[in-house]
Amino acid sequence: MENTEKEKRPERALLAAVDTGEYDAEASLAELYELVRSAGAEPCGAMTQKRPSPDTATCVGSGMMEEIASYCKNYDIDLLVFDCELSPTQIRNIESISDVRTIDRTMLILDIFASRARSSEGKLQVELAQLKYMLPRLGGKGTSLSRLGGGIGTRGPGETKLETDRRHIRRRISKLKEQLEEVEKRRGQIQRRRQKNGVITVALVGYTNAGKSTLMNALTQAGVLAKDMLFATLDPTARALKLPCGKTVMLIDTVGLVRRLPHHLVEAFHSTLEQAATADIILNVCDASSSEAQVHLDVTRTLLAELGCGGRPIIPVLNKCDLVPSLHDLPMIGNAVRISAKTGRGLDALLESIEENLPVKTTRVELLLPFAQGGLAAKLRKDGTILQEEYTADGLKLTAQVDPVLLHLVQDYVIFPHE
Ligand SMILES: Nc1nc2c(ncn2[C@@H]2O[C@H](COP(=O)(O)OP(=O)(O)OP(=O)(O)O)[C@@H](O)[C@H]2O)c(=O)[nH]1
Ligand SMILES: [Mg+2]
C-alpha cells in the first residue's frame, strides 16, 4: 500500500486561460496555480490567450490548441486545467486533440472541497454541487463519464455513483436535498436556541489562507486545522470566546472564499455562508502581506452583501502584519484592525473592537409624546426604530424599539410597559 503511494508522482498539470478582459486574468491564473497545488498536483506551466471571447469548440483558438497539445506531449502533462467554465463539448474536443484529461476551474474547486469535507453536511453539500455540475455535462450517451478513471476532478463522495445514469443522479440529487434540508432544519433549531439564549455570534470570514483558523486558535485555543493550503477549513466550527468585559460570544470559523467562486458552490454552501452572514458581528479577515489584500476584502464584502448581511457590523481585519515590514506597506483601510494571529500582536485591539460592536439590547416601548416634544420624536426616528405611529388628541403615540440611552431620554413618556 505504502509502495504504491510512493510510486504515485503528483499529476503534472498545465494551466490554460483565455483573457477576454472581463476580469483580471493574470490574478485569476495565479490563484488557479495555488488551487492546483492545493489539489495535490504540480503546476508545470501556464498558457494564456487574449481573445474577445472563448472559442465555442476548444475555448482557446485552434492554433493555441495545437501548441497546448504539443506542450502536453513534450512535458509529460497528465492534466489540463482551464481557468474558465468549459462546456461538455469543449471538454470532449480539448481531450481528443490533446489526449490529456481536462477539467475546468469549477471542477477543480469542487474536487478540493470533496477531499476536504469532513462533516456530514459538508459532504452532502459537495456531492450535491458535483452532481448538479455533472448532470448537464453527461451528454446524451453519458460518454463523458468514461473519463472518470480517478485523479483530480474525479474524487468525492459521489465518485462511484457517477458511473450510473442520469435518472439515478436525479434521484440522488433529490435525496441529497432532502437530507440537507434535515441538517439545515436542525441547524436552524440550534441557531434559534442560541438567539433565544441571547448568544452573540461573531463570524470569521475571508479569503482562503487569510489565517482565520489560526486566529480562531489564537483567540480560543480551539485546535482547529490551520494550514498553508487553500480551503483548509470547509466545515464551520464554533467556539466560545470570552471578552475582556466578561461577556462570552460564539466565534464561528468558516470556509474560505476565492475569486470567482463558482456559482454551484456559492449555492451549495449557501447555508454555511449564510450562518456567517447572519452573525451579529463579522470579522472580514485578509492577509495583509498579499498585494491582493484590498481585492480580497472587497470580494468578501460583496459576497456577504449578496447573502444579505445588511446592517451588521463588518470589521476589516488585516492579519499577518508580522510579514509586512512597515506600516506604509499596509493597505489603507480606515477602521481596519491590524493583527498577527501568529505572534498575537493586536489581538487586544481586536477584542476591544468586537466589544465596541456588540449589539445593544433594545426594548420595545409604547410612548405618548406631547406635541411640544417634537425634538424627541425626531431623535427617536433617527436613533431608534419606529414600529407604529399615530397622532392622537393627546399627542404623538409611538411604538418603538429603543436602546438603553434612548429609553433613558424618553422614560417620562412611556405608557407601556408600565413601570
Ligand atoms: N506569518 C503569519 N502567518 C500566518 C498568520 N496567520 C496565519 N498564518 C499562516 O497562514 C496559513 C493559513 O492559515 P489558516 O489559519 O489555515 O487560514 P484560513 O483562513 O483558515 O484558510 P482556509 O481554512 O483555507 O479558509 C498558515 O500556514 C498559517 O500558519 C500570521 O499572523 N502571520
Ligand atoms: Mg481555515
pLDDT at position 6 is 45
Grid cell of 413 as nine digits: 413618556
Sheet hosting strand 314-319, strand order edge to edge: 237-242, 248-253, 200-206, 281-287, 314-319, 337-338
Q: What is the model's pLDDT at position 2?
A: 43
Which of ligand 1's atoms lies nearest the C-alpha of 204? 19
Q: Which domains, from first to last, does the chain contain?
A: 10-196 (3.40.50.11060), 199-356 (3.40.50.300), 363-416 (3.30.70.240)
Q: What is the pLDDT of residue 152?
A: 64
- Ligand 1, atom 1, lies closest to the CA of 320
Compute the distance between CA of residue 345 and CA of residue 322 in angstroms, rounded to an integer.
8
Look up residue 63 and give its amino acid: G
Q: Which atom of ligand 1 is nearest to the CA of 206?
A: 19
* Closest ligand to the CA of 208: 1
Burial bucket for residue 97 (CB in 10 Å: 0-12, 13-18, 19+): middle
Q: Is the ipTM value over 0.95, yes or no?
A: yes
- What local confidence, expressed as pLDDT, does residue 59 receive? 96
- Give residue 159 CA to ligand 1 midpoint distance, Å: 30
Q: Which residue has the cell 392622537?
A: 392
Residue 138 has a pLDDT of 65
Q: Is 26 helix (H, G, I), strand (E, B) or coil?
A: helix
Residue nearest to atom 24 of ligand 1 (CA): 231
> In a structure prediction context, what are the per-residue pLDDT tens digits for the chain, which is 419 residues long?
444 444 578 899 999 999 999 888 998 899 899 889 988 899 999 999 999 999 999 999 999 999 999 999 999 999 999 998 898 889 999 999 999 999 999 889 888 888 877 777 778 888 888 888 888 776 433 333 334 445 666 665 554 444 556 788 888 899 999 998 888 788 778 777 777 666 788 999 988 889 998 999 999 876 666 665 555 555 567 888 889 888 888 898 887 777 666 666 776 667 667 777 888 999 999 999 988 888 888 888 888 888 777 778 999 999 999 998 776 666 677 789 999 999 999 999 999 999 999 987 778 899 999 989 889 999 999 888 888 999 999 899 999 988 888 899 999 999 988 65
Q: Is 342 in the pocket of ligand 1 (CB under 6 A)?
A: yes
Pocket test of ligand 1: the residue of 31, 112, 205, 214 to mutate, having most ligand atoms within 8 Å of its CB, is: 214
* Ligand 1 pocket check for 233: Cβ under 6 Å: yes
Q: Cell 500500500: give the residue.
A: 1
Closest CA to 312 of 169, 165, 205: 205
Task: Specify the ligand 1 atom closest to the Cα of 214.
Answer: 15
For 103, the grid coordinates are: 477539467
Which ligand 1 atom is nearest residue 256's CA? 25
CB distance 227 to ligand 1 below 6 Å: yes
Ligand nearest to the CA of 210: 1
Other beta carbons within 10 Å of 259: 17
Q: What pLDDT does residue 148 have?
A: 44
Pocket test for ligand 1, best of 116, 213, 230, 340 (most atoms within 8 A of CB): 213
Measuring CA to CA, how many Å separate 274 from each of 54, 76, 240, 317?
33, 43, 20, 20
pLDDT at residue number 83: 95
Ligand 1 contacts CB of residue 276 (under 6 A): no
Q: What is the per-residue pLDDT for 153? A: 65
Measured CA angle at 71 (ends 70, 73), to 5 deg: 65
pLDDT of residue 145: 39
Mutate to test the pocket of ligand 1, among 37, 224, 227, 303 (most ligand atoms within 8 A of CB): 227
pLDDT value of residue 33: 94
Evaluate: CB of 288 within 6 angstroms of ligand 1. Answer: no
